Amino acid sequence: MNTTYNPAIHHRRSIRLRNYDYGQAGYYYVTICTHKKRHMLGEIVDSQMNLSDMGVIVELEWKRSEVIRNEIIIHDFVVMPNHLHGIVQINCDSVGAKGPSPLHSPYLCTGAPVARPRSFLSRHRE
């Protein structure tokens, strides 16, 4: 089985809802891929994922996300050789700041605008 990514045959269309605010409270299934889908995060051996050093860093930083960002809760996730899948809960009931960029929403879920740009789950790069 050839698992190499081939853009000529691997066509995926976004399943994102048009005009949906992916910064609002809710649960989101997130996939984050490595650059050019390179297998950099580890390898699967005997049905077990063995993380590389980079994979360990990705896992630690993913877990750390909810520590430094009050507004999210990390649920189940899995690191694969070339991507990560995870469930993220955005919680607008959070108050206070934990990290260097505490204002992720331009409205802080209250309707009052703030000066910092919003951080979106919907922003992605090819």
Pick out the chain residues at pLDDT < 50: 1, 95-108, 110, 112-117, 124-126
Supply the pLDDT for residue 104: 45
Supply the pLDDT for residue 121: 61
Supply the pLDDT for residue 94: 53
Total-model pTM: 0.67
90 by DSSP, 3-state: which?
A: strand
88 by DSSP, 3-state: which?
A: strand
Written as one string, the DSSP assignment of 71-87 is: TEEEEEEEE-SSEEEEE
Supply the pLDDT for residue 27: 94
Q: How far is CA 25 from CA 1, 4, 28, 52, in A?
A: 40, 36, 9, 33
- pLDDT per residue over 28-54, tens digit each? 999 999 999 999 999 999 999 999 999
